[in-house]
Structure 1
Amino acid sequence: MLVSDTEVYISGFGCITPIGNNGDENLQSLRLGQCGIRKPVLFESKYASLYLFGEVSLSNSELCSLLGFEGVKGLTRTDLLAFKAFGDAIQDAGLRPEDISSYDTAFVSASTVGGMCLTDQLYRDSNLQSDNGEFLNSYSCWAHATRIAGHYRIRGLVDAINTACSSSANAIMHGARLIKTGRAKRAIVGGVDALSKYTVNGFNSLQILSQGYCKPFDADRDGLNLGEGACYLVLESRESLGDRKPLAVVAGYGNANDAYHTSSLSDNAIGILRAMQNAVLSAGIDPEQIAYVNAHGTGTDNNDKVESEGFRRFFKRIPPFSSTKSYTGHTLGAAGAIEAVYSVFALMYGELYPNLNFGKPEGPNGLVPVLKTTKADLCYVMSNSYGFSGNCTSLIFKRL
């Protein structure tokens, strides 16, 4: 499929994460090195006392009140987080109701867990143990997207993606391609995931949850912290943007799948390398022009080791990099979009955000991430997201 040289602009965003309920709060936490990982207050699980999580501070009832959804039945925490971030994004971009309802507007969302955040309720419903069926239409990974599309009367293309931890990065890539190929003038893209027993139990069975704070790229890393959140970006063509001032440009993207293992990346970083190569190729730049990388960096042994290998093989001189999952935990399907916004922050304000909890490089030639908030002259930044089964995506953003 031919892709035009049309530039894709980011005109606004909305995000709610463990380090902030809006964009300004997220930016402030990044600058101050304030971590949002802690013992959960709202999430109930037998593992709540054993592990730390990145939990959004607002309860479901607080979200309902904030959104004006009191009394609305069937809404999961996934739905509520998504509505909050989506509403903030369209407001930030200055989209009008007629823009959102236009056939030229696409909506591409992503989620790994979707409505299965209600794990116990799903079990009761599926085993006919429940008298209340209000959530029967809420469990799919696309239920939140369907509800948002209905609420905002979106008539253009609506899609939902689940490629695990690269899901919302792929949503951004899909939206950018829709604009470049003339299938849409604007696209609202991103993703959402809420903490759930389904994922906590699953990651616990893989034995990759840390009982302390995750330490991406540290020699003594012992696993990840799961998190939750939602984030959406508004992408627009120049024609759609009009006189409004954009924030940054989606300059390039690449996706590859190494198909090595269900939950691990190949040791020789095949998928990671191909994704980064495709991203710089689509951006029309050389790897040396990348001034910062927001790494996938989960804090697991396999991920960080393979990503480091990918950096060594791809870059002649590895640029500054850090993992902002050390702030939020791993937010799964929302991670790619959240980290895309953090990458845009880096471009907009000319600053790098530290990789928290790092103490010791892995061996004498181990890579050392950014360790403190630093001013930097940035033109291109890369954001990496890797999902289960080796679904690897790299996005490149350009300063205006």
Structure 2
Amino acid sequence: MAERVFITGVGMISAIGENVAENLRSLRLQRSGLGYTQYIDTRHRDVLPVAEVKHSTEELAAMADLPDVEGYTRTTLLGLVAIREALASAGIAPGETVPTALINASTVGGMCDTEKVYFDILDPQKEGTFLRYIDTLDCADCTQRIADITGIRDYVTTISTACSSSANALMYGARLIQQGLVDRAVCGGTEALTRFTINGFNSLKNIDKQFCRPFDQQRNGLNLGEGAAYLVLERESLALARGARVLAELSGWCNTNEAFHPTAPSPEGNGAYEAMRAALAMSGRTTDDVQYVNVHGTATLNNDVSEGRALQRLFGRNVPKFSSTKSFTGHTLAAAGAIEAIFSVLAIQQDMIFPNLHFSEKMEELDITPETQLTEEYPVRNVISNSFGFGGNNASLVISKYEG
């Protein structure tokens, strides 16, 4: 029988805090990170809201204990800040020899820097001046740099499956552990805001000019965000042998791909339903055992209908409390799955349900509404965390209270 997979460390940075404690404080105070960019040179600067980390790239380098930013993109620096906290949280000292994997996710990679020299490529007067940025463009560049700094060398890889990326990273790490290939996996993702993503989602008419309103009748699109988050996964016997503080168990997971449309989910939520159903079945829990669902909840017209119908199909008349925390952090794309997995751990640890901000009116297509108030002293034992990406790539995680 495969060993259980325990979560023993967490670290993150987002628009609502530079560590896990600050993120929890903002969630509890219902303080959103949505606003307008200070660091991106874009015509949309004062038009399209974003959830931006409140530090310059130079400040992030200092937070990551790097002397300068040469060769390190904002994406990489966000990742380094978050992963350092995760390793410290797990009590992992530098130079440990436990076989460890790093499964990192990103969709923009070094685009935050390379897009600044895009037009130089076409300018013969500037030939060659942009070459120092080329190596940083690949998503794997930030993964390798993070691996080099942290000393993780046993197994290093990158996942890029749009908005489900870091949830899939967690699944992959858990599978490596259960197959006995590694004893520990540090899994998550990092994503910086870029003009490329802002313009891309805006061209799809998927960005709201107001603060996003997930699962609201008046919703009109998402707000992009940036950040990074990592969770340390360990096989049960290792965690117990070293006396690790077990934060939660990653008890179930599933990835499905419905391939309905390049950028839209199936209207009935077929892929979302199957991902949740199979993840729950793997966990050994039933629908009655779930107290909270951290929904993907992008506030786009298609997603929220699809996901809501999947929830109603799975849970029937007894849909548990649910909310989208993207109204706090924005949609952090490849980092979203890991950020929201940590929020799920916090919900279990704090016995707390986070509110779905900016909600005003029930969707006409659904019979359910999200939680709009902070709920405390509410026993949470099992959480489903959803991350659904372009191309119908759907990922659901079941995170459970550690019972000893």
Report what 2:51 is aligned to: 54
Report what 2:211 is aligned to: 213
Which whole-Å CA distance do the structure 2 matches of 1:149 and 1:365 have between them? 45
Report what 1:180 is aligned to: 178
Which whole-Å CA distance do the structure 2 matches of 1:300 and 1:217 have between them? 9
Once the two structures are superposed, residues 220-250 of structure 1 have per-residue CA deviations (whole angstroms, 9 ceiling, x without a partner) of 0011000000000101112322212211100
TM-score normalized by the length of structure 1? 0.96
Which whole-Å CA distance do the structure 1 matches of 2:366 and 2:111 have between them? 42
TM-score normalized by the length of structure 2? 0.95
Relative to structure 1, is the Cα distance of residues 74 and 285 closer, same or farther in structure 2, using a 3 angstrom cutoff?
Answer: same
Which whole-Å CA distance do the structure 2 matches of 1:96 and 1:40 have between them? 36
- The alpha-carbon deviation at position 69 of structure 1 amounts to 1.8
- What code does the residue aligned with 1:314 have? L
Which whole-Å CA distance do the structure 1 matches of 2:212 and 2:69 have between them? 37
Once the two structures are superposed, residues 40-71 of structure 1 have per-residue CA deviations (whole angstroms, 9 ceiling, x without a partner) of 11222111121100000011111112223233
Once the two structures are superposed, residues 170-228 of structure 1 have per-residue CA deviations (whole angstroms, 9 ceiling, x without a partner) of 00111111111111110000001100011111001000100010000000001100000
Report what 1:171 is aligned to: 169
Report what 1:250 is aligned to: 250
Deviates more, 1:373-382 or 1:348-357: 373-382
Report what 1:192 is aligned to: 190
Report what 1:280 is aligned to: 280
Q: Percent identity?
A: 42
Select the residue among 155, 158, 183 that pairs with 2:156: 158
Relative to structure 1, is the Cα distance of residues 78 and 365 closer, same or farther in structure 2, using a 3 angstrom cutoff?
Answer: closer
1:364-383 matches, cutoff 5 A: 365-375=366-376, 376-383=378-385
Report what 1:312 is aligned to: 312
1:64-103 matches, cutoff 5 A: 64-99=61-96, 102=98
Relative to structure 1, is the Cα distance of residues 210 and 12 closer, same or farther in structure 2, using a 3 angstrom cutoff?
Answer: same
Select the residue among 33, 38, 54 that pairs with 1:36: 33
Which whole-Å CA distance do the structure 2 matches of 1:292 and 1:88 have between them? 26
Which whole-Å CA distance do the structure 2 matches of 1:72 and 1:50 have between them? 29
Relative to structure 1, is the Cα distance of residues 119 and 218 closer, same or farther in structure 2, using a 3 angstrom cutoff?
Answer: farther
Deviates more, 1:248-257 or 1:65-74: 65-74
Report what 1:264 is aligned to: 264
8 Å CA contact retained: 2:2, 2:179: no
Which whole-Å CA distance do the structure 1 matches of 2:356 and 2:299 have between them? 11
- What code does the residue aligned with 1:362 have? M
- What code does the residue aligned with 1:297 have? G
Which whole-Å CA distance do the structure 1 matches of 2:105 and 2:331 have between them? 15
- How many residues align? The count is 395
Which whole-Å CA distance do the structure 1 matches of 2:11 and 2:52 have between them? 17
- The alpha-carbon deviation at position 98 of structure 1 amounts to 2.7
Which whole-Å CA distance do the structure 2 matches of 1:73 and 1:40 have between them? 23
Q: Considering only aligned residues, what root-mean-square deviation do their CA atoms show, in Å?
A: 1.4
8 Å CA contact retained: 1:109, 1:161: yes
1:333-344 matches, cutoff 5 A: 333-344=334-345
Q: Structure 1: which 5+ residue stretches go unaligned?
A: none
- The answer on 1:108 being equivalent to 2:109 is no
Which whole-Å CA distance do the structure 2 matches of 1:272 and 1:132 have between them? 42
Report what 1:23 is aligned to: 20
Equivalent position SS for 1:114: coil
- What code does the residue aligned with 2:301 have? D
- The alpha-carbon deviation at position 120 of structure 1 amounts to 2.6
Q: Structure 2: which 5+ residue stretches go unaligned?
A: none
- What code does the residue aligned with 1:183 have? L
- The answer on 1:123 being equivalent to 2:118 is yes
Deviates more, 1:384-393 or 1:145-154: 145-154
Select the residue among 184, 189, 199 that pairs with 1:201: 199
Which whole-Å CA distance do the structure 2 matches of 1:339 and 1:32 have between them? 17
- The alpha-carbon deviation at position 311 of structure 1 amounts to 0.5
